[in-house]
Amino acid sequence: MSQLRFREAVRAAMIEEMERDERVYLIGEEVGHYQGAYKVSEGMLERFGERRVIDTPITESGFTGISIGAAIVGLRPIVEYMTWNFSAVAFDQILNNAAKLRQMSGGQLRVPIVFRAPNGSARQVGSQHSHAMEHFYAHIPGLKVLAPATPADAKGLLKAAIRDDDPVLFMESETLYGVKGEVPDDPDFLVPMGQAAIAREGRDVTIVAWSRMVHVALEAAAVLAREGVEAEVIDLRSLRPLDETTIVASVRKTHRAVIAYEGWPYGGVGAEIVDRIQRLAFDDLDAPVLRTSFLDVPMPYNARLEQLVVPQASRIVEQVRKVLYRA
Amino acid sequence: MAKVLEMPKLSPTMEEGQISLWHMKEGDPVGVDDLLAEVETDKATMEYRSFDRGTLLRILAPGGSVVRLGQPVAVLGAPGEDIAALLASLLGSSPVAADALPLAAAHPPSVADVVAAPPAGPAGDEPPTGRAKASPYVRKLARERGLDLGLVSGSGPGGRIVARDVEGLPEAVPAPAPRPESGVLAAPIARPLSMMRKAIARRLTESKQTVPHFYLTIDVDADPIWSLREQINADLAAAAHADAPVIKVSLNDLLVKASAIALARVPECNAEFTPEAILIHRRVDISVAVAVSEGLLTPVVRDADRKSVMAIAAEIRELSSRAKARKLAPSEMANGTFSISNLGMYGIDEFAAVINPPEGAILAVGQVRREPVLRGDAIVPGRRLKLTLSCDHRVVDGAVGAEFLRALRALVEHPTRILLA
Amino acid sequence: MTTRPPSDELHLELYRKMQLVRRFEEEAARAYAQGKIGGFLHLYIGQEAIAVGVSAALRADDYAITTYRDHGLALARGTSLRAAMAELHGKVTGCSKGLGGSMHFFDVEHGMLGGYGIVGGHIPIAAGTAFASKYRGEDRVTVCFMGEGAVSIGDFHEGLSLAALWKLPIVFICENNEYSMGTPLSRELSVEDVSTKALAYGMARDRFHCEHVLEVRERVAEAIERARLHSEPTLVEIRTYRFRGHSMSDPGKYRTAEEVEERKQRDPLPRSRGELEARGFGAALAALDEAVEAEVADAVRFAEESPEPGPELLEATTYSGPFAR
């Protein structure tokens, strides 16, 4: 075990997998000489050279397509976007090529590729740099979407993603990069995709969250504990595949659920989870399932307004009180 | 060899096209890729070019006609080639023929149907006891513990009963007997649908949902037709000899002939509705419902108004036996113009039948009832018969239906007219 | 420029392939008109000499990628007529198991890495297969076909920009058939010479009219050699013309019948036939034509008789591993 920051855990996963497999390489804007826009790839250029740590011009669609092309003929690229916001200009490549090539080739091709970047809100970066992009991508069959909350999960899941034969989108968070945690050193430590973790056990209400919001949900659970409410916090880790078994088992126990996430309320992963709960645990619900998400507006720059739009622990607590009929 | 040119598919979504202009006339030589015609599709006016070479022998769909995909528009062949037989076969294959097959193959399930089959839903949720509003979890608790939610006051929004309102309540004693749920004995027996059953379900549902039915019933004096039938059968038995099998005439045979004559007199009942026009048939082809082991078949007696009762009797005998053996050709069940269904042999007094589309009416025949009737001033033993006509109101109005039944009554009550017509 | 006269055998073989593509496309059009083929159908009639000429200059292990007008390239690279026709009919015996259709022919075994339906989207993919060759130190070349309609979209710029920056072993073939669907060249681009786009990337370029299949092979061979030996990309513009509409639902009202007729006079297919006839191969040509007819008829029969793919293929071809839901 080592104490690592989230960004170091991501880096450790990439280094271990690149050492293990010559076909794996890292490509993206500022990943090499600049040492990474968020210093995730710091030192990797020196370690692997320009052949395998590749700086690109500002061409998201271009280097995304190139990496998909390389993947269908046998390489295993890791594509870093400076943030997931910029993947929007590569959306066609992800939607129409990464997610489709296997099926439209009748299964002849596979696309072993990882796309990774920080996602969601940062601090006052405005409406174009604060998107929660997992909702767009989790909608698409052919893709897998991961969103870990801890350094250990970041390392174990990223390694699993790099070894996977399908396109995996890996959601990090600028505000999580400095978070520290115990991380196994075993080079074969993998976290399987599609398995949620119980971040906190409780009996009164289930709070489902992922990525940065797991930490906010734990904060809310601490507040609720002082009111005598024991919240169970589920850290999904993987959005597609989604671990509905763990969610349903928890709701069967608590009879109430709140989904807390970044992203807008219209549709999306949060709505998908609500659908599964009402279908699979209908008879165990004592209250409608509620959500705490972004407010339904573009992200404002003003700090106070930004805090209003981004889910805070207090908003999660409020929703929990409602499902407990205490509001 | 002459070749039929069909309406081509000129766009991914087109189902029919309108020939807006022929660029060739009959007799013109045609080469590969030559422009034959312009076709207006759902998307654009497209060129219809030839895939073959030859001479344009006959234009079947003149400019302006709307033709469904794959239906003939012209005939291409060698100059002077005889295409009479080809044309005859084309005219014989009206689209109605395929649709009228009772055994027409059901549409195969598409991939989408297979994939999108909904997963089994959650166990059926019982309605809440009384009119109480309660959360799903509370309803489950109430079922398990036998609680009467009508006695609980809810503390949730709008009086919703939530878990805290029932936690700690004693279980009802004694618990109500559990309802039979999905035990083996309570489960229904699932009998897979045969093709015939599917066809019956589809066609009769379509009939009842799209055809506005109404019903007219008459009660006729059946003594004369009963006597006539006995007399005919006695004569036939007397005339029978070893070489010829004994043929018997049934009441139904007489009613088929009588109906055919009545239809010839009131052709408005021998008609079919189409969105463009009412088609009044020139032939009287009567579909006769025959019960078979899996359901029902309707072989057709063609030109029933022009056949003798004996011929009709022999034909119905023969068609019925082949129907029961499932040896009828689809064409023998297609293109009837009117149906007769008889449940008299099952002791049914009267009933209303479902119209067999695209026919415009069906006659339902009950049993001949022995009952006291008034003759002059005397009550005497007699025979009565109820006949019910189901009409497609789009084709047959009440007065027209009544006119047919009046003609039918006259024939049944004076049955020698059936033989003389 | 002095070149060795090409062997007649080669010319006969390339004629056979062009005729194969032409007759395949004609029968595809017939099947479409009969409702046996669904969706879109973009025919290659008129442009056969390009796919056939380029394929003749490639090595079997080179990669080729193209747009949705992809039948000609697949057949030229060696996809069987049966697999191609079955794909159009949506049959499981098709080259993409009936899941791709006309626009998505894939045949990895023959280095046919696909037909792509989003204009320009395949250009970075092609640069990526070239990138992989270079990454692995192989001397495989990628050829990437596109229409001139793709030149204006962003992925053309990003793909060519990166290919030039990273010196990738790729040849971009722009089949300039003068119409981007219904829009003529003069209304799509500010320059008439598409190959000049290469100048801005510092990329080699070439440009010629597709008049003879052997010329296509020779000219493109130079660019392929540049990619294989020097790992440098080239943009080759080949002027051509499609004799049919953009797709089967295109009425073609944007160009005159005279224009189409005039262009048919320059069709490279009869030109090759005429030359070979003049060199005394009349009998050989007749035999080739007959063999092509038989092969096409066999493909149609095979396609019609083949089974359809079952729903069990859907999830298995969505993910390589377990289905993610």
The pair phi, psi for residue C140, each rounded to 5°, is -70, 145
- At C173, is the pLDDT very low, low, confident or very high (cuts 50, 70, 90)? very high
Residues within 8 A of B (CB atoms), A 265-324 only = 279-280, 282-287
Give the model confidence (pLDDT) of A94-116 as tens digits: 999 999 999 999 999 999 999 99
Q: How far is CA A289 from CA A194, A222, B80, in A?
A: 22, 21, 79
- At B106, is the pLDDT very low, low, confident or very high (cuts 50, 70, 90)? very low
- At B190, is the pLDDT very low, low, confident or very high (cuts 50, 70, 90)? confident
B44 at C interface, C-beta within 8 A: yes
Average pLDDT of every residue of chain B: 82
The structure tokens 């090529």 sit at A97
Is the pLDDT at A121 greater than 70? The verdict is yes
Is the pLDDT at A22 greater than 90? The verdict is yes
Q: Domain coordinates of chain B in residue numbers?
A: 3-90, 130-175, 197-420
SS (H, E, C) chain A: CEEEEHHHHHHHHHHHHHHHCCCEEEEECCCCCCCCCCCCCCCHHHHHCCCCEEECCCCHHHHHHHHHHHHHCCCEEEEECCCHHHHHHHHHHHHHHHCCHHHHCCCCCCCCCEEEEECCCCCCCCHHHCCCCHHHHHCCCCCEEEECCCHHHHHHHHHHHHHCCCCEEEEECHHHCCCEEEECCCCCCCCCCCCCEEEECCCCEEEEECCHHHHHHHHHHHHHHHCCCCEEEEECEEEECCCHHHHHHHHHHHCCEEEECCCCCCCHHHHHHHHHHHHHCHHHCCCCCEEECCCCCCCCCCHHHHHHHCCCHHHHHHHHHHHCCCC
Give the model confidence (pLDDT) of B320-361 as tens digits: 988 888 778 778 888 899 999 999 988 999 999 999 989 999
Query: Quick one: which of B139, B160, B143, B119 has its CA closest to A276?
Result: B119
Torsion of CA C151, C152, C154, C157, to 10 degrees: 50
State ipTM: 0.94
The structure tokens 């049914």 sit at B348
Give the model confidence (pLDDT) of B43-58 as tens digits: 677 889 998 889 999 9
Q: Which residue in B8, B12, B111 is closest to C39 by CB distance? A: B12
- At C5, is the pLDDT very low, low, confident or very high (cuts 50, 70, 90)? low
Q: Which residues contact C293 (CB under 8 A, 6 or more apart)?
A: C23
Residue B174, preceding bond cis, omega within 30 degrees? yes
- At A142, is the pLDDT very low, low, confident or very high (cuts 50, 70, 90)? very high
Residue C108: closest C-alpha in chain A: A108
Q: Which residue in B139, B140, B162 is closest to A287 by CB distance? A: B162
Q: Taking residues C301-313, report their average pLDDT.
A: 96
**Higher per-residue pLDDT: B115 or A105:** A105
State the pLDDT at residue B121.
36
Is the pLDDT at B177 greater than 60? The verdict is no
Read off the tokens for C77.
Answer: 């690279």
A240/C63 CB distance under 8 A? no
CA distance A121 to A169: 17
Least confident of A112-116, A140-144, B267-271: B267-271
- At B242, is the pLDDT very low, low, confident or very high (cuts 50, 70, 90)? low
Give the model confidence (pLDDT) of C61-89 as tens digits: 999 999 999 999 999 999 999 999 999 99
Residues within 8 A of B (CB atoms), C 34-53 only = 34-35, 38-40
Q: Taking residues C46-53, report their average pLDDT.
A: 97
Distance from CA of C125 to the nearest CA of A (A): 4
Best B133, B135, B152 member to test A by mutation, with max A CBs in 10 Å, is B135
Q: Collect all residues of chain C within an 8 Å Cβ-Cβ radius of residue A165.
A: 320-321
C113 at A interface, C-beta within 8 A: yes
Average pLDDT of every residue of chain C: 95
Read off the tokens for B384.
Answer: 């009565």
State the pLDDT at residue B241.
73
CA distance C179 to C186: 9
Domain made up of B130-175: CATH architecture: Irregular (4.10)
**Higher per-residue pLDDT: B235 or A106:** A106
C124/A66 CB distance under 8 A? yes
Highest mean pLDDT among A90-99, B26-35, B80-89, C179-188: A90-99
Least confident of A8-12, C56-60, C243-247, C294-298: C243-247
Domain made up of B197-420: CATH architecture: 2-Layer Sandwich (3.30)
Q: Domain coordinates of chain A in residue numbers?
A: 2-183, 197-323
* Rg, Å, chain B Cα set: 31
State the pLDDT at residue B171.
65
Q: How far is CA C104 from CA A142, C74, C90, C95, C96, in A?
A: 17, 10, 11, 9, 7
Q: Domain spanning B3-90: which CATH class is it, in words? A: mainly beta
State the pLDDT at residue A161.
98
Residues within 8 A of A (CB atoms), C 17-56 only = none
Residues within 8 A of A (CB atoms), C 131-190 only = 131-133, 135-136, 154-155, 158-159, 161-162, 165
Q: Which residue in B137, B157, B164 is closest to A285 by CB distance? A: B137
Read off the tokens for B265.
Answer: 């007199």
CA distance B155 to B165: 7
Q: Taking residues B15-36, report their average pLDDT.
A: 88
C8-306 maps to CATH 3.20.20.190: no
Percentage of chain A lying above the pLDDT 90 cut: 99
- At B116, is the pLDDT very low, low, confident or very high (cuts 50, 70, 90)? very low
Is the pLDDT at A8 greater than 90? The verdict is yes
Q: Give the angle subtended at the CA of B291 by the CAs of B306 and B416, to the nearest 5°.
A: 30
CA distance C319 to C312: 13
CA distance C322 to C325: 9
Percentage of chain A lying above the pLDDT 70 cut: 100
- A197-323 folds as Rossmann fold (3.40.50)
B23 is catalytic: no
A140 at C interface, C-beta within 8 A: no
- Enter the DSSP assignment of B42: S
Best C249, C293, C317 member to test B by mutation, with max B CBs in 10 Å, is C249
Torsion of CA B282, B283, B288, B294, to 10 degrees: -80
Contact A115, A167 (CB under 8 A): yes
A248 at B interface, C-beta within 8 A: no
Residue A242: closest C-alpha in chain C: C325
pTM: 0.70
Residue C142: closest C-alpha in chain A: A69
Query: Quick one: which of B265, B255, B273, B268 has its CA closest to B213?
Result: B273
Greatest extent of chain B over all pairs of C-alpha atoms, in Å: 97
Q: Domain spanning A2-183: which CATH class is it, in words? A: alpha beta
Give DSSP secondary structure letters for C214-237. Answer: HHHHHHHHHHHHHHHHH---EEEE
Least confident of A229-238, B376-385, B397-406: B376-385
- Catalytically annotated residues of A: 60, 129
B10/C249 CB distance under 8 A? yes
Q: How far is CA B414 from CA B227, B308, B387, in A?
A: 11, 17, 16
Q: How far is CA C95 from CA B249, B353, C81, in A?
A: 65, 54, 10
C325/A104 CB distance under 8 A? no
B111/C314 CB distance under 8 A? yes
Is the pLDDT at B111 greater than 50? The verdict is no
Is the pLDDT at C312 greater than 90? The verdict is yes
Percentage of chain C lying above the pLDDT 70 cut: 98
CA distance B60 to B37: 13
CA B17 from chain centre, in angstroms, equals 29
Give the model confidence (pLDDT) of A203-258 as tens digits: 999 999 999 999 999 999 999 999 999 999 999 999 999 999 999 999 999 999 99
Least confident of A143-157, B160-174, B193-207, B263-277: B160-174
